[in-house]
Amino acid sequence: MSETKIYLDIRVKNTLIDKKHDKKTGQMIDNNHKRVMVENGIDNLDQYNNIVIERVNEYNPKLNITGIEYVETPVAVIGRNAVYSGLIERIDDDGVKSSLAYIFISYPEVGSRNAFGSQHLFPGLSKLVDFYIDSPSYDLANLPIYFVNGSFDNITNSMLETVISMKLMGINYIQLHNSNSVTVDLDYYDLKKYSRFISNDRSLTNDTNIIKTDFYNIDINLKKIQFITNSFSCNLETFGSKDRFFVIKSYPALILADELGYVIDVTAISSFVETHNRGRNNFIPFIKYAEKLIEKEQ
């Protein structure tokens, strides 16, 4: 009998069940993620696994997930570079394995809400984009992508921006807890409205033809999108994960702009990478994907 399983990184399991050393008492106590799980009625890993299986099957019953396994390297293409990445795989009656989808998952406690999504998807997704860049498809990867938000945190505006970005990228978003707390307005499936939304500039009027964000500028009349370095080039000493913040907001705009036949300009990003050699793991696949879309239109 065939079965379908989710394969996650063993480090996810260890994070969910391991204890930490309390400096004040000298005792071993639950880490923050385990503590949050217990506070919300999840006492062990089996309960957690069952909730993940239930929610994924609710979202897509055709997958019919039957179990979760934690392994050293769930996605060979990604390797050990992305702890949050995993694979959904079906094994038929003859033992033949078929990969069905990639899956990314966040922990019970988000920590930094501004890092939500970007830290979980990247650089894993960038690895997939880079590996499949020469495929005939214009999708980000060769299989569907799922993101499971495993956090108990309330969805903030910055987190909602990321959820919308994921959906625009074609990523299947699943809320593990508080499943009714996220509503995505379909109006944002529009380049102009999405750009106004992430710019946080509510003064923009509906007839505005030039929209500037921290990540790109668009000219509605000229049908041009220019990706810029404003969000990460000011202070290289604090560069950190700014490349991840950039790509998670820029991929949706790139995809929407391509659908509208916009002129796409990524020269500023290319120049930044060549000059400063920062953020290559995420910037280079983004540039390659943009160039692939540009070549399609020529």
Q: What are phi and psi of 66, to 5 degrees?
A: -115, -15
Could you give the residue ranges of the DSSP H alpha helices within 106-156? Answer: 118-121, 124-131
Q: What is the mean pLDDT of residues 275-296?
A: 95
Confidence of residue 248 (pLDDT cuts 50, 70, 90): very high
Confidence of residue 281 (pLDDT cuts 50, 70, 90): very high
Pairing mode, strands 97-105 and 85-91: antiparallel
Give me the pLDDT at residue 90, please. 96
- Is residue 56 scored above 70 in pLDDT? yes
- Is residue 13 scored above 70 in pLDDT? yes
Q: What percent of the chain has pLDDT over 90?
A: 62
Task: Give the domain ranges of the chain.
Answer: 3-181, 187-297
Coil, strand or helix: which one is 81? coil
Using alpha carbons, list the distances in angstroms from residue 122 to 42, 65, 241, 245, 280: 28, 25, 10, 9, 12
Which tens digit of pLDDT belongs to each residue from 190-202?
A: 899 899 888 866 5
Q: What angle (nearest 5°) sits at the alpha carbon of residue 241, between those of residues 239 and 246?
A: 95
Coil, strand or helix: which one is 146? strand
